[in-house]
Amino acid sequence: MRAEDFVSTALDPARSVVVEACAGSGKTWLLVSRMLRILLAGARPGDILAITYTRKAAREIGQRLRDWLRELASADDATAVAFLMERGLDEAAARAALPAARGLIERVEQASPGMTITTFHGWFTRILNGATLSSGMAGYALADAERPLMDEAWAMLSRRCELEPDGPEAQALTALFGGFGMLNTRALLEQFVARRAEWSVFAAGEPLDTVIARIGDALGATSDEHALAHFFAAPALDDKLHAYAALLGRNTAKDETLATRLIDALALTDDGARFEALVPVMLTTEGQPRARKPAAAQAKRLGEAGEAELLALHAELCERVQACLDARTEVRVMAFNAAGLRAGCALLEAFEALKRTRRVMDFADLEIHVDRLLTDEAQGPYLQARLDARYRHILLDEFQDTNPVQWRILLAWLGAYDADAWRPSMFLVGDPKQSIYRFRRADARIFQHAAHWLGERFDAVRLPNDQTWRNAPPIVDVVNAVFADAPEFVGFSAQTARRATRPGQVLLAPLVEAPSAVVDHAAPGGLRDPLTTPAPVAESLARSEEAGVMVAQLQAWFGRLMVGEGEARRPMHWGDVLILTRKRGILPEYERALREAGVPYVSVSRGQLLTTLEAADLGALLEFLVAPGNDLALAHVLRTPVFAASDELLIDIARHGDGHWWQRLRRLAASPSIHAPDARRAVAWLGNWMQLARRLPVHDLLDHIYHEADVPGAYQARVPPAMWPGVCANLEAFLALALNVDGGRFPSLPRFVDELRRLGSAGDEEAPDEGTLAESGGEGRVRIMTIHGAKGLEAPVVWMIDANNTRQQPDNYQPVMDWPVGAPAPTHFSLHATKALRGRARAHVFEADEAAARREALNLLYVAITRAEQCFVASGSVGNGKQLSDYGRIAQALERLGSPDGHGAMEVCAAPAACVAAPVSPESVPPCAAPVGTRVEVADDAEGRAFGTAMHALIEARTTPGAVAPTSVPAAIRAAADAILGAPDLQRFFDPAHFESAYNEVEIVRTDGRLGRIDRLVVFADEVWVLDYKSGQADAAQLAGYREQLRSYATALDGLFGARPVRGLLVFPDGTRQPL
């Protein structure tokens, strides 16, 4: 299909469409363009429901649409027509739609209800808010944090078990703790609680005992005694075992030993003991049948008939033994599941009780309650009618990340439409190749099922798009070579690069191999000082070597490797580099190498603020201010750049008497010691801050500390220049945290410190992020991210580390589930502990799960490679794994392309001077904002400000219908207001007969994010005016600032009123006018 036909079909508002698009193909562009076309076709903004995967993506979609609508409102006709033609309209249709297109921004901004652009969970919240009172969902809020609630739920369950030690829940927990340990048990039950939405659908409201019995039937579990009795009841089993023992006794010496063991086993009377003794005769320690095959020497010993009998008996008896072992394993699996589900449901009950008490719910609750309401015979029709009446156009973004419960909810709504009735238009877009969130319950199979279902029920057209705007041709060549022939990568189609001339390259750094190093740090006497010398450990240096190779290559490319193309071509900066990893745990070695080389970086951007050194320093300071007896916190504070205490000073503190260190520090300050001046400064600041902590909110306290101690300046003086922008951003982010955490509800310092402790151990979604670095004018920072975290991002240079590692942690201690795609509920749900407790009845579930894991591993590699715009590098260390690694797959692809040393090429200048007009100096690094707390001295003109404020208030009162003008106003102020309101040239701005609408004191957010206030905004039929009153005279020195302020107001309003131009006017009482 031609690109023009693809776009016109995909964006046709009257069609339902399913788009399967590769990475970098412009899926977001397509989705937002369709929203624009829907609006252009006359739909109300409130008719549109757009669902995407993250709140950030939802914000970006809304912002991009508004930016486009502003552009349409203000662009010249030729530009606007071209814009619409890019989105599927022919020239005639584009020109005809132009008037409506220019007014879309006004329609969207004034619409009530507005467009719904949200996530699945955001939409579910809206549904519950609209449910009837009888649903019981009124008054609930989304929980700020789940971890504290879970900890409280464990405490509740523990108290309950203490009160009822013989109860079923206590016995279940005791069995789990005894068999699997506390940590594994907690992990298992918390994973069960996390999958409670699927459990709710599977259980379908049945009693727990009934569900457990249903699972037992599926496993075929009976009892250990029954399994043994069934084994020994086999016909002629005893004769066969004796015959087998006789044949073994005539065979090899090893078999003679086995025969003796078998005869001894048969002499036992207890079935359990007898069977346990039989097993090692038949099976290896790995549980596999002992190897036996025909052999000439064996036939000579036993005769041909004897050999045949031995092999037949061996096969039959091994099969029976394995069947009995499997039956006994299923009994153990069932016992584990019965205990796990009983304890899990008890924990879930406590968790739910806490949330009901506090009227909160989390994301899983949203899914459970919306699913319950939509499938309820009483509530379902009401909610479906509300949804039908509200939404006419549904757009689903990143659909490959949808989970089965979310799809079940959609089906409950969409499946209610009759085939011959009106149905909303559907637009579904995604890429199963980028489905990498299985740990969040996403099921990539749903995409293809949904596409087929929408084709049957909504006549949806399926449109593939395998053309990428992002990746250079060499990147695309390698992607095709890696995945085209991969058997697990079903559904892959060869991709093509839209930017055919963009230079690019794919390289493999040589695998490194470093010997394990053990360094003996013991002193000559044989003893080691544990305070100064680490214990000797065997540490593999492979990752350190790999990190060194990576850093050396990046440094060689910095300022030399040319990225971009055409006029945008430029040398590589640090901000152009994205380092990707599958696992976070390996990052310290790579971060250390970057840090030692002075390369600025930000590592795993989500949830890492409190792990930075500067945040830890500030946290220790607050800990000390709360508890002055905390010696460790004080020592930490004194070693920060703010105080920069030496080892000698700390030793001197320790020597000054008894008591805690705060007392000793004050004694040192009063002593004649050479360290007394530094101690006095520390005592003065810390003592003052302790007093302020009792009466100032946390943010104001930190503001004062930053100002008094010049915290930013202290850090800037002591960190490498390359690291300073990141440190500065984190200092500012920590200050902002005092206002952002829970809406600033922590005026008490102890409560804020407690919240910091909690956030420090919270998950990534909840923990605060590192500070945002302003990239303008500098080289930025190298980003280090997991592949999961980098989804949706791109960079000119991508380096994948540890790419030759094939080791995977087993998915133990969690629920396993079989939910056939399209089925209304799971057909199987149970708990899994370890490989030894898998059993055969669930083999198909584990096989399907392992196949999904293998496919997701390939998806992760696809996502990693396709983040690279131009340059992709993979590195790793020599490994012993038998599985094909990501590095190995790329190496094979390069071999197939005939370029084993690398595919493609990019220009690398001989020296930075050949590429950069001016060398980058440390001064070019963007400075930190003025230290927080720095006070700017302003000339005191209180009289002038009071005059201006009074004049503005009087004009506002006299031009606002129904307002009462103040009576006791000085004559000079009244004269100034009269001069403005009575001026003949200004009557058109105050007489309602001349304008459509007018507004006084309009608050507005300017394009730079600052708040502004417009004195008077007047809307005419063909233009918009902004009036800015000035109470003084037109001082030439201030006029430029006034005009710039007025221009910022006009720029912020541009496009809000369609094609009408925005004009500005400075108004002075003396008759001076300054138009803009």
Confidence of residue 1051 (pLDDT cuts 50, 70, 90): confident
What mean pLDDT is reported for the chain? 87
Contact 951, 1029 (CB under 8 A): yes
Residue 743: the pLDDT is 47
Alpha-carbon distances, residue 637 vs 640, 644, 646, 679 (angstroms): 5, 9, 12, 13
Give the residues across from 504 on adjacent strands.
905
pLDDT of residue 1009: 63
Residue 941: its pLDDT value, please? 56
Percent of the chain at pLDDT > 70 equals: 91
Query: Which of 965, 931, 432 lies closest to 710, judged by CA?
Result: 931
Neighbours of 1008 (CB within 10 A): 9
In angstroms, rounded to a whole number, what is the distance separating the alpha carbons of residues 303 and 840? 37
Residue 744 has φ and ψ, to the nearest 5°, of: 70, 30
Q: How confident is the model at residue 218 (pLDDT cuts 50, 70, 90)?
A: very high
Q: Is there a binding annotation on residue 27?
A: yes
In terms of pLDDT, which residue wins out, 919 or 506?
506
Query: What pLDDT band is residue 695 in, cutting at 50, 70 and 90?
Result: confident
Q: Are 876 and 799 in contact (CB under 8 A)?
A: no
**400 vs 18: CA distance, rounded Å:** 12
Q: Is the pLDDT of residue 772 over 70?
A: no
pLDDT at 509: 95
Contact 581, 787 (CB under 8 A): yes
Burial level of 564, CB count in 10 A (0-12/13-18/19+)?
middle
287 is in an annotated binding site: no
Contact present, 5 and 464 (Cβ < 8 Å): no
pLDDT in tens, 42-71: 999 999 999 998 888 999 999 999 999 999
Q: Which residues, 6+ apart, have CB-to-CB distance to 624 below 8 Å?
A: 630, 633, 634, 636, 637, 662, 686
Determine the pLDDT at residue 195. 95
pLDDT in the model for residue 938: 41
The whole-angstrom separation of Cα 1037 and Cα 1033 is 11
CA dist list (Å): 438 to 349, 401, 852, 931: 26, 8, 9, 44
In the structure, what pLDDT confidence band is assigned to residue 541 with cuts at 50, 70 and 90? Answer: confident
Beta-carbon neighbour count of residue 926 at 10 Å? 17
Q: Is 23 annotated as a binding residue?
A: yes
181: left (phi over 0), alpha (psi -120 to 50) or beta: left
Give per-residue pLDDT as tens, 237-281. 999 999 999 999 999 999 999 999 999 999 999 999 999 999 999
Q: Is 744 annotated among the ligand-binding residues?
A: no
pLDDT at 601: 85
- Residues in contact with 653: Cβ distance below 8 Å, sequence separation at least 6, in sequence order: 638, 661, 664, 665, 668, 679
25 annotated ligand-binding residue: yes
Question: Which tokens belong to 1032?
Answer: 């003084």
- Please name the residue that has the structure tokens 């003008």: 965
Residue 791 marked as a ligand binder: no
3-state secondary structure of 905: strand
* Residue type at 716 in one-letter notation: Q
CA 565 vs CA 174, 497, 503, 571: distances in Å = 65, 14, 8, 11
Please give the angle made by the CA atoms of 117, 123 and 127, to the nearest 5 degrees. 135
Q: Tell me: the pLDDT tens digits for 270-307? A: 999 999 999 999 999 988 999 999 999 999 999 999 99
What is the bridge-based pairing of β-strands 141-142 and 504-508? unpaired
Residue pair 887/812 in contact (Cβ under 8 Å)? The answer is no
Q: pLDDT band for position 824 (50/70/90)? A: very high
Q: Where are the alpha helices (H) located in 962-1035, listed in sequence order?
A: 971-981, 987-990
Q: What confidence score (pLDDT) does residue 807 get?
A: 85
Model confidence at 927, pLDDT cuts 50, 70, 90, reads: very low
pLDDT tens figures, 66-104: 999 999 999 999 999 999 999 999 999 999 999 999 999
Confidence of residue 928 (pLDDT cuts 50, 70, 90): very low
Q: Which CATH superfamily is 504-515+540-603+780-905 part of? A: P-loop containing nucleotide triphosphate hydrolases (3.40.50.300)
Alpha helices in 359-486 (DSSP H): 363-375, 380-390, 404-414, 445-457, 473-483
Tokens of 775: 């990239």
Q: pTM for the complete prediction?
A: 0.78
Q: Give the separation between CA 957 and CA 381, rounded to whole angstroms.
A: 52
Model confidence at 765, pLDDT cuts 50, 70, 90, reads very low
801 or 728, higher pLDDT: 801
pLDDT tens readout for residues 572-595? 999 999 999 998 888 888 988 998
Count of C-beta atoms within a 10 Å radius of residue 444: 25
Sheet strands (E) in 604-755: none
- Let me know if domain 942-1075 sits in CATH 3.40.50.720: no
Size of the chain, expressed as the number of residues it contains: 1076
Long-range contacts of 900-903 (CB under 8 A, 24+ apart): 902/505, 902/506, 902/507, 902/508, 903/474, 903/477, 903/478, 903/505, 903/506
- Which neighbouring-strand residues pair with 1024? 1019, 1062
> Which CATH code fits 609-760?
1.10.486.10
- Give the span between the Cα atoms of 833 and 25, in whole angstroms: 42
pLDDT for 929 equals 40
Cα–Cα distance for residue pair 760/766, rounded to 1 Å: 10
Task: Give the residue with greater pLDDT, 462 vs 1032.
Answer: 462
Can 3-136+365-465 and 504-515+540-603+780-905 be said to share one CATH topology? Answer: yes
- Residue 520 predicted with pLDDT over 80: no
Q: Which two tokens stand for residue 379?
A: 């509530």
Environment class of 179 (CB within 10 Å of its CB; exposed 0-12, middle 13-18, buried 19+): middle
> Residue 786: enclosing H or E segment and its boundaries?
strand 782-786
Give the integer Cα–Cα distance in Å for 856 and 251.
50
Beta-bridge partners for 800: 580, 874
Residue 382: per-residue pLDDT: 87
**Residue with tokens 């300046």, as numbered in its chain:** 713
Distances, alpha carbon 34 to alpha carbons 82, 352, 617, 870, in Å: 16, 41, 49, 29
Spatial separation of the C-alpha atoms in residues 470 and 865, rounded to whole Å = 11
- Please work out, in degrees rounded to the nearest 5, the angle formed at the alpha carbon of residue 599 by the alpha carbons of 647 and 473: 160
The domain ranges of the chain are 3-136+365-465, 141-358, 504-515+540-603+780-905, 609-760, 942-1075
- CB-count burial class (<10 Å; 0-12, 13-18, 19+) for 810: exposed
The whole-number average pLDDT for the span 612-618 is 87
E strand or H helix that includes residue 1066 = strand 1062-1067
Across 54-58, 229-233, 601-605, least confident range: 601-605
25 in Cβ contact with 92 (< 8 Å):
no
Nearby residues of 295 by Cβ (< 8 Å), 6 or more positions away: 307
26 appears as a binding residue in the annotation: yes
Mean pLDDT of 182-211: 95
Q: How much is the average pLDDT of 203-222?
A: 94
Question: Which three-class secondary structure state does DSSP give residue 84?
Answer: helix
Amino acid code (one letter) for 668: L
Q: d(Cα 45, Cα 108) in Å, to the nearest integer?
A: 6
Report the range of poorest mean pLDDT among 778-782, 868-872, 1054-1058. 778-782
Measure the CA–CA gap between 274 and 259, rounded to whole angstroms.
Answer: 14
Q: d(Cα 194, Cα 931) in Å, to the nearest integer? A: 44
Closest C-alpha among 543, 561, 960, 1056 to residue 798: 561
Q: Which residues contact 606 (CB under 8 A, 6 or more apart)?
A: 764, 765, 767, 769, 789
Gap between the Cα atoms of 96 and 101, Å rounded = 9
Give the amino acid at 988.
Answer: R
**CATH number of the 3-136+365-465 domain:** 3.40.50.300
**Mind spelling out the 3-state secondary structure of 306-350?**
HHHHHHHHHHHHHHHHHHHHHHHHHHHHHHHHHHHHHHHHHHHHH
Instruction: Determine whether the annotation assigns residue 343 to a binding site.
Output: no
Neighbours of 999 (CB within 10 A): 12
914 pLDDT band, cuts 50/70/90, is: very low
Distinct helix (H) and strand (E) counts, the chain: 40, 28
In the prediction, which pLDDT does 134 show?
A: 76
Strand partners, 433: none
pLDDT at 939 over 90: no
Given a cut of 50, whether residue 538 has pLDDT beyond it is no
Q: What pLDDT is stored for residue 762 in this prediction?
A: 54
> First-to-last CA distance in the chain?
50
